[in-house]
Structure 1
Amino acid sequence: MTATRPTDTVRPANKRGAARLAAVQALYQMEIGGGELADVVTEFELFRLGQEIDGDEYREADSIFFRDIVAGVVAEQKVIDPTIHQALVEGWPLKRIDVTLREILRAGMWELMKRKDVPAKVVITEYVDVARAFFVEDEPKIVNAVLDKLARAWRVKEFEG
């Protein structure tokens, strides 16, 4: 069983959820703009997390969790990318996937690898919610399927029984 809710139900993000969303945005910014980790994290913490920008209010986020995700993805990318690549449908290499979707999968994979205190089903559900913040078509389903496949490989005990 995969961890999803009906598509018409979107919960407001808590501080960790806001941190996940911001982490995906920061990773996107680093990939597209080539920014350095420390600079991008500082920019987000000073000017985005819990701030209002151009009339949009950014939710308060768990800044430590945000930093952990962004720094963790950067540090573990050489393990994360091939792992995600193997979980994708044949013929769809990770580099061919939309940048935002790629960053969602990277952040989710990092949490599955490194945050054993967060249940795998929670990780999957949270990143499906992040995907819904950016996409309305098939991408949330892709996030669900790929992270579920990865979770079953990396967190076998959570899916036994």
Structure 2
Amino acid sequence: MSDAKPQSLKAVMDQLNAETGAKPLTQRDKRARTVARLVLVQALYQMEITGTGVETVVREFADHRFDTDLEGEPLAQADEAFFGEGARAVVREQGVIDPLITHRLASGWRLERLDTTVRAILRAGTWELKFRPDIGLEVVINEYVEIARAFFGETEARFVNAALDGVAKDVRK
């Protein structure tokens, strides 16, 4: 995966079509899953910055944030169940998730040194890789790389790609 060329959102959506082992998702469901991943990263960021609990954040996003994006524009429908599952699982399984990420950081680096948003992206991606084997690893990695690219650019996207690719090698043997 680390040698893969950046893919467009359409290419990521096409890969979602190729998933096996799970009930095929419709194009609308795939888009909703993509939006849920983005919102999950935003929620994890918010929880870490504010110290707000997961149930409060899940409720806040369900009540107020699924209708618009950060700039107040209408947001595509999110898979709210997937978002809620992810938020709760990342918090519950953080003791498993964080060491998996740390194992893939450069020697001497601590997870706390990473940007908060990058940490949120890696935690969400690692949750899916470890705890959602029904979702193709290429789909997971590509979607979170695209999220990293949207927030930062190529350097962080390549970092996320390498880290998640390493986690995938550790958990999807």
TM over 0.5: yes
Measure how far apart 1:57 and its partner are.
2.4
Distance 2:103 2:159 in 1: 14
Choose which of 56, 59, 67 in structure 1 pairs with 2:76: 59
Distance 2:114 2:71 in 1: 29
In structure 2, list runs of 5 or more residues that go unmatched.
Answer: 14-29
Identity of aligned residues (%): 47
**SS state of the match for residue 160, structure 2?**
helix
**SS state of the match for residue 93, structure 2?**
helix
Whether contact under 8 Å (2:90, 2:123) holds in the other structure is yes
Q: In structure 2, what is the equivalent of residue 19 of structure 1?
A: 36
Distance 1:41 1:151, change over 3 A: same
Letter matched to residue 141 of structure 1: R
Letter matched to residue 22 of structure 1: V
Choose which of 98, 117, 125 in structure 2 pairs with 1:108: 125
Q: TM-score, normalised by structure 1?
A: 0.88
Distance 1:117 1:60, change over 3 A: same
Distance 2:92 2:44 in 1: 12
Letter matched to residue 112 of structure 1: L
Letter matched to residue 100 of structure 1: T
Distance 2:56 2:84 in 1: 12
Q: In structure 2, what is the equivalent of residue 144 of structure 1?
A: 161
What per-residue deviation string (whole Å, max 9, x for no partner) do you get for residues 6-64 of structure 1? 36x34488110100000010010000011111111111111111336654222210000
**Matched pairs, number:** 155
In structure 1, list runs of 5 or more residues that go unmatched.
Answer: 157-161
